[in-house]
């Protein structure tokens, strides 16, 4: 096959391209230039897609002996991923830019361009497995290394694009194994640190980026009874489940920590409350993408048994734990799931991925989450308790290990 290998400049994509060469494919490397300020360098392990990364990608291609090109996709990236990031926060939601980058850039713009140029598939360094059935259709599965699994951020791609994608690192036992292989192959990126932050916010200051782009919008912070307990410079800078950075003028009556319960963009108001008020056991999501017969709804047909016909788990954060669930309703555009284990801090805008074991069944974007069981009657101790997040980091884990 003619394969276009996306070379980010990291160790994962370099080893993935090397494995594609070993498999006998005709491989060409391409680096996606996504930043409009290409003179900037990364600092430490923050960010990705810098001019430094482009140089590392070129050196990897030289070692592998494959042609190498740089494609300037910065305008498309700004119009889709960055614009979505800003509009979602402005609307009071919590987006995951890595999901949107996979949707709009790596498995839309890049893949479409590759197919137009006569390539058969795109190869990336994502950690996920593809299982091919006897009939030739393909399933997306979690990676062998659960700690590196990226099926969550890949689920948005859908079955048609999965059919044209290669993930050679899906069966790797650990990131250390990838680094050892890179070193053995003479790839200089073998010891390069992972990138943990949003690539277009290289300094890690998400709130600062939002403030620069969206401007100051002072407003009130209120508790769940409506009493004013503080102020803010922009409701867009907060996300459900956030604890740090609230700068409240008075403590809660019971002295317990307070968290963001919801963001009200029209009123420009942030509502805070106790951790118990974050507990939800039902999640509704839209823009659903389904993969197979369990939820193959692309043609508009609703399955007679529905996705609930088999046990499922759902995941709402890139590095969150999967929880048992049942699917109440599902169609081509919407899904509602009942959580058998409650969660805390599920925010509109997050990606909801439905699994059967390790297999991805579908993906959708959270629109709402609610508590249906009476307070004090949880099904179990809530999972995924929001961490003590710094003021500039949203509750959803944007750090999807973007070195792929």
Label the pairing between strands 323-330 and 359-370. Answer: unpaired
98 is catalytic: no
H or E element, residue 153 = helix 151-154
49 is catalytic: no
Residues 6+ apart with CB under 8 A from 227: none
Give me the catalytic one of 48, 49, 101, 123.
101
What is the SS3 assignment for 278? helix
Phi, psi values for residue 40, rounded to 5°: -80, 145
CB 352 within 8 A of CB 364: yes
Burial class (CB in 10 A: 0-12, 13-18, 19+), 217: middle
Label the pairing between strands 26-33 and 128-132. Answer: unpaired
Burial class (CB in 10 A: 0-12, 13-18, 19+), 390: middle
Phi, psi values for residue 295, rounded to 5°: -150, 40
Residues 6+ apart with CB under 8 A from 109: 73, 76
What count of other Cβ atoms lies within 10 Å of the Cβ of residue 346? 29
Nearest-angstrom CA–CA distance, 16 and 182: 10
List the one residue out of 259, 178, 187 whose CA is nearest residue 224. Answer: 259
Q: Which long-range contacts (CB under 8 A, 24 or more apart) does 181-187 make?
A: 181/15, 181/18, 182/11, 182/14, 182/15, 185/15, 185/18, 185/63, 185/64, 186/63, 187/11, 187/14, 187/15, 187/18, 187/60, 187/63
Nearest-angstrom CA–CA distance, 66 and 210: 40
What is the SS3 assignment for 262? strand
Nearest-angstrom CA–CA distance, 193 and 46: 9
**Residues assigned a catalytic role:** 101, 199
């Amino acid at each position: 096959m003619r394969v276009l290998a996306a070379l980010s400049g990291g160790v994962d994509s370099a080893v993935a391209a090397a494995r594609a060469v070993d498999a006998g494919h005709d491989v060409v490397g391409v680096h996606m230039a996504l930043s409009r300020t290409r003179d900037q360098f990364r600092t430490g392990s923050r960010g990705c897609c810098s001019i430094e990364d482009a140089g590392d990608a070129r050196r990897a291609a030289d070692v592998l002996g494959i042609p190498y090109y740089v494609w300037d996709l910065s305008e498309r990236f700004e119009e889709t991923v960055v614009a979505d990031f800003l509009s979602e926060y402005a609307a009071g939601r919590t987006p995951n830019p890595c999901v949107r980058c996979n949707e709009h850039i790596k498995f839309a713009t890049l893949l479409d361009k590759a197919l137009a140029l006569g390539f058969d598939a795109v190869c990336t360094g994502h950690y996920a497995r593809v299982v091919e059935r006897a009939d030739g259709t393909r399933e997306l599965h979690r990676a062998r290394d659960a700690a590196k699994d990226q099926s969550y951020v890949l689920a948005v791609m859908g079955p048609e694009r999965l059919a044209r994608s290669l993930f050679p690192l899906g069966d790797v036992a650990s990131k250390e194994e990838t680094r050892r292989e890179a070193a053995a192959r003479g790839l200089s990126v073998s010891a390069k640190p992972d990138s943990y932050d949003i690539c277009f916010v290289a300094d890690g200051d998400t709130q600062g980026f939002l403030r620069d782009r969206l401007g100051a919008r002072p407003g009130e912070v209120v508790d769940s009874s409506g009493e004013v307990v503080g102020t803010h410079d922009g409701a867009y800078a907060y996300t459900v489940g956030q604890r740090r950075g609230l700068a409240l003028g008075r403590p809660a009556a019971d002295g317990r920590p307070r968290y963001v319960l919801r963001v009200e963009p029209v009123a420009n108001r942030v509502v805070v409350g106790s951790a118990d008020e974050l507990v939800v056991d039902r999640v509704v999501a839209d823009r659903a993408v389904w993969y197979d017969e369990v939820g193959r709804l692309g043609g508009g047909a609703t399955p007679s048994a529905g996705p609930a016909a088999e046990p499922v788990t759902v995941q709402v954060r890139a590095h969150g734990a999967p929880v048992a669930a049942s699917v109440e309703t599902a169609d081509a555009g919407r899904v509602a799931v009942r959580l058998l284990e409650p969660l805390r801090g599920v925010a509109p805008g997050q990606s909801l991925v439905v699994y059967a074991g390790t297999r991805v069944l579908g993906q959708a974007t959270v629109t709402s989450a609610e508590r249906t069981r009476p307070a004090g009657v949880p099904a179990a101790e809530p999972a995924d308790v929001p961490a003590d997040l710094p003021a500039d980091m949203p509750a959803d884990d944007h750090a999807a290990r973007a070195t792929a």
